[in-house]
Structure 1
Amino acid sequence: MTSRHGFYACRALIGILEGGFIPDLILWLSYFYTAAELSIRLSFFWTTLALTQIVTSILAFGILHMRGVHGMAGWSWLFLIEGLFTLVIGISAFFLMVPSPVQTKKPWNKKGWFTEREEYIIVNKVLRDDPTKGDMHNRQGITPKMLWQGISDYYLWPIYLIGLVAYEPMNVLGAYLTLVLKGLGFGTFEVNLLAIPQNVLHIILLLAITWLSERFNNRLGWSLFSPIWTVPLMLLLRFWKGALVNKWGTYVVVSLILANPYIHAICVSLCSRNSQSIRTRTVSASLYNMFAQAGSIISSNIYRTADAPLYKAVVLRSYQ
């Protein structure tokens, strides 16, 4: 990649290839778990994302020191090595993932994942929890009419709107975290290590809020904990006059905002458990993800040079 057009083409290709990953994964997991179990398993899934951020931050600290090896920049080695990890995992998943709980036997795994009795237990508990999961088989495609019916299920629209706005405060700072920390005076290598604490706290809060939402059978009520956590911290960041002077204090506030109790698993589970059909479940997982990604686009355009001096503190310094 050597030009702006190549960059745009590469980014578009990544989007095309990644677009169906999370919706497909959510639908796949719904074949194995009940609605209550799905929330917890999805929280495990997004926990691995945060764990990946921790591991890659540690790796990046070492890999970036490879600058100049074989004439390559440190970031080039970072992309190459971490990209190889993704490639290996992707190829492995092709062989390890199975179509359903009753289709786990493969030539390289003749015993499969479960015994016949375990398969009966899994299928029965899932269907008793939600009989609509037996309406379509997992190789049956949806027609344009079924797609429209899924989109038109307006009972799910409020959840899509939550996905659009709920993560914008974190996404704004997350997108500019490197610039923010460097603008505060931290070095390149320090920036990678400083991203670790907020990811650790993020994991703890994600697992806790998801478990509590199922424990007390109140998902939207516990989801309110997210803005209750975030809004005071955003106000502090907005009006704190010492943000440019006290870099460690600002780092703590930014880290707490990014460690926000993540309600993504709860909302995705809400879409799945309220879909009432595999058709709608397939579409709702995709639409919710599209709204969440649209929120990321909004977040990336909130802080702009033309907005100065209305944006404050750490962001202002990052742009100077």
Structure 2
Amino acid sequence: MGFGILHMRGVQGKEGWRWLFLIEGAITAVIGLWSFLVMPPAPTKTASWFRGKDGWFTPREETIIVNRVLRDDPSKGGMHNRQPLNWNMLWKSLTDVDLWPIYIIGLVWGLPSSPVDTYLTLTLRSIGFTTFETTLMVLPKQFLHLIFLLAITYISARFDERSLCGMSAQVWILVCLIPLRVFGAKSSRWSKYVVTTLLLSYPSTHAIQVGWTSRNSNSVRTRTVSSALYNMFCQLSGIIASYVYRADDKPLYHRGNSVLIGIAVLNLFVYGGVKFYYIWRNKRRDAVWNALTAQERETYLLTTTDQGSRRLDFRFAH
């Protein structure tokens, strides 16, 4: 009798999860279809059966929008939005060595926090919290993480700073990792929870780095490839992070946390090195550009075959 009741509850629980996934999938599909219909391919192509036959803008407004976009970033006029990449264009984008420092950041920046986040619920259960308590206890870090993400992104845009923002996030993580490494089996479980929550509330610089990749690409061609490459390195980072915490090191993961501390320290040097690299590249460009006369600069702008970040009049953001 008891087994039968438990079995029925298990079946109902599985059915509940299936319905939940079905509802989430349906919502995602509806949003995707709606986005496809609502988002136009260009400001001059807003007219359609779904968006209205007259479109969103008048011909004069379309002209103003296009001119302002190109003045803000002339590289956006290099390709149209239906033009495919050929192998030559792809190779040029892959071999743009000035973007690889950001790819390296994509590989390492999330490593110090990812294992802690992945094993959070298991860690909370192992130190005595119930399943229900654990479900509620993961909510604060998600809320705080969102708030600090918005804050660090605003600060980066306000002060036009990227590398130092990334370093500040690594310092935040490092300060929290040290007590996690020191905690022992008899340490207060609430102390462990508070420190872990603070660690996972760190200001994520992922959005900053995505924009950084786009900014330093300086061409539609390179931007298309660089965004994908940066994301690939971030995904590879997640695979690497899954091997830091090992079964023979649980539940305190002292060895794993020591490794994460080392990676966080390494990341400080990575961000600093990337900043100095771009400063050095900009100084070299300045030396060449400033040595040209006004006539030579004008001739260069009219006749150069340099593209993207290879242009002498382009400066890297850092």
Q: Please say whether Structure 1 and Structure 2 have the same fold, judged by a TM-score greater than 0.5.
A: yes
Within 5 A, what are the aligned runs for 1:295-306?
295-306=237-248
Change (3 A) 1:306 1:118: farther
> TM-score, with normalisation over the residues of structure 2?
0.71
For 2:30 and 2:221, how far apart are their aligned partners in 1? Answer: 32
Cα deviations across residues 200-238 of structure 1 (Å, max 9, x unaligned)?
Answer: 111111111111111112221222111111101011111
Unpaired runs of 5+ residues, structure 1, are 1-65, 316-320
Q: Is the 8 A contact 1:135 1:277 kept in 2?
A: yes
RMSD (Å), alpha carbons:
2.6
- Residues 1:172 and 1:70: Cα distance change in structure 2 (over 3 Å): closer
Cα distance in 1 for residues equivalent to 2:234 and 2:165: 19
1:88 equivalenced with 2:30 (yes/no): yes
Alignment of 1:94-109 (within 5 A): 94-109=36-51
Question: Could you list the runs of 5+ residues in structure 2 that have no partner in the other structure?
Answer: 1-7, 258-318
User: Does 1:132 find its partner at 2:75?
Assistant: yes
Give the drift of 1:86: 2.0
Aligned counterpart, 1:181: 124
Please name the residue that 1:191 is paired with.
Answer: 134
Per-residue deviation, residues 123-150 of structure 1 (Å, max 9, x unmatched): 2222112111100001111011111110
Question: Residue 226 of structure 1 contacts residue 261 of structure 1 at CA under 8 Å; is this kept in 2?
Answer: yes
CA contact (8 A) 2:99 2:216 kept: yes
Q: How many residues align?
A: 249
Higher RCO (Cα < 8 Å, 6 or more apart): 1
> Quick one: distance in 2 between partners of 1:259 and 1:277?
34
Q: 1:206/1:71 Cα in 2 relative to 1: closer, same or farther (>3 Å)?
A: closer
Match of 1:147 in 2: 90
Letter of the structure 2 residue corresponding to residue 265 of structure 1:
A
Partners of 1:117 and 1:268 lie apart in 2 by 33
The separation in 1 between residues aligned to 2:187 and 2:145, in whole angstroms, is 26
Query: Retained in 1: the 8 A contact 2:249–2:255?
Result: no
For 2:24, what is the secondary structure of its paired residue?
A: helix
Give the match for residue 166 of structure 2.
223
- Given that 2:38 and 2:50 are in contact with CA atoms closer than 8 Å, whether structure 1 keeps it comes out as no
1:275 aligned to 2:222? no
3-state secondary structure, aligned to 1:186: coil
Write the distance in 2 (CA, Å) between the matches of 1:144 and 1:77.
Answer: 44
The separation in 1 between residues aligned to 2:148 and 2:57, in whole angstroms, is 32
For residue 260 of structure 2, what is the aligned residue in structure 1?
none
What is the rounded CA distance, in whole Å, between the counterparts of 1:234 and 1:71 in structure 2? 37
Matched, 1:294 2:236: yes
Kept in 1: contact 2:38–2:51 (CA 8 A): no
SS in 2 for 1:140: coil
Please give the alpha-carbon distance, in whole angstroms, between the structure 1 residues aligned to 2:251 and 2:233: 30
Say whether residues 1:162 and 2:87 are aligned partners: no
